[in-house]
Amino acid sequence: METTLVPLRPDAAGAPLYRLAKRALLAAIESGRWRGATALPSETVLAARLGISIGTLRHAVDELVAERILVRRQGRGTFVATHTTERFVFQFFHVERSDGVRDAPQVELLSFERERLDDEAAEALQRRPGDAAIAVENRLSLQGRPVVYDRLVLPAVLFRGLTEKRLRERPSTIYHLYQTAFGITVVRARERVRAVTADRTACRVLGVAPGSAVLQVRRTALTFHDKPVEWRVSTVTTAQHDYVSTLAPAA
């Protein structure tokens, strides 16, 4: 599905030009055309292709940068944001040591299974209960200490060809694998947190005492247009760590 950048025509709804430009860019980004290390065409070229002024194009790109979908680098170009370890840690991983030290977690794969969506996962993923799914369990450790027990559920249709081996041998983060191997870019996530008492599995995986209070984080990871692509329930020991709410825009 190759989209082409053509001169923009006014919208029925009367949307401003820069939003039309944003939509056009987003469609091109979704098509995967600019994935990887190659930069987008320069602002001059993009503006010319879309038949708009450079200022208007910049307005569109500004918004995509604010949404962390694009990254601009002066002198180099504009790129589709990739899921490097840094981005994972700072945008999607919200657990850090109580003294404030942030660190990338070490991940251990505990299980990989094919299953069916239960009601909760189905609702979160906007699919039907019983649809084919892949369930993955991970243990995340910080400074050698087990801290998070993750259970991921993925719609099988979106991740055809995903095997335990591929998951195990990925060179970078899971979201980076989604992006490079399946063309699925996670752009943001919704998380809801509650306190529960640790169940047997959590006790075993995290080594906490039965009955201790742990955090349960329910995450829906979204790609473009807020389409859900992953459902994840994380159990977090907060004996020596905290869940940190994403901070507001930087000064």
Partner DNA sequence: CCCAATTTGTTCGTATGTATA
Partner DNA sequence: TTATACATACGAACAAATTGG
Among a copy of itself, DNA, none, what binds residue 109 when CB lies within 5 to 8 Å by partner kind? Answer: none
Q: How far is the CB of 35 from a copy of itself (least distance, A)?
A: 20
Give Cα 164 to chain centroid, integer Å.
20
Q: How far is the CB of 101 from a copy of itself (least distance, A)?
A: 13
**Does residue 103 touch a copy of itself according to CB under 8 A?**
no
Using the rule CB under 8 A, give the single segment among 79-87, 125-133, 168-176, 243-251 that binds a copy of itself. Answer: 243-251
**Does residue 61 touch a copy of itself according to CB under 8 A?**
no
Give the tokens for residue 44: 């001059």
Using the rule CB under 8 A, give the single segment among 32-40, 135-143, 175-183, 233-241 that binds a copy of itself. Answer: 233-241
Collapsed DSSP state (helix, strand, coil) of residue 125: helix
d(CA 80, CA 78): 7
Helices (H), 51-118: 54-66, 85-87
d(CA 25, CA 159): 25
Interface residue with a copy of itself, options 98, 143, 163, 201 (CB under 8 A): 98
**Does residue 226 touch a copy of itself according to CB under 8 A?**
yes
**Does residue 248 touch a copy of itself according to CB under 8 A?**
yes
The residue (of 34 and 243) whose beta carbon lies closer to DNA is 34
**Does residue 232 touch a copy of itself according to CB under 8 A?**
no
Contact yes or no for 199/193 (Cβ under 8 A): no
**Does residue 191 touch a copy of itself according to CB under 8 A?**
yes
Give the tokens for residue 102: 């942030």
d(CA 178, CA 185): 7
Among a copy of itself, DNA, none, what binds residue 48 when CB lies within 5 to 8 Å by partner kind? Answer: none
The residue (of 134 and 221) whose beta carbon lies closer to a copy of itself is 221
The residue (of 24 and 136) whose beta carbon lies closer to DNA is 24
> What is the identity of the amino acid at 80?
V
C-alpha R_g of the chain: 20
d(CA 58, CA 62): 6
> What is the identity of the amino acid at 38?
T
d(CA 153, CA 130): 12
**Does residue 193 touch a copy of itself according to CB under 8 A?**
yes
**Does residue 109 touch a copy of itself according to CB under 8 A?**
no
Half-sphere exposure of 240 (CA within 13 A, CB side): 11
**Does residue 209 touch a copy of itself according to CB under 8 A?**
no
Q: Which residues bind a copy of itself (CB under 8 A)?
A: 66-68, 91, 94, 98, 188, 190-197, 211-215, 218, 225-226, 236, 238, 241-249, 251
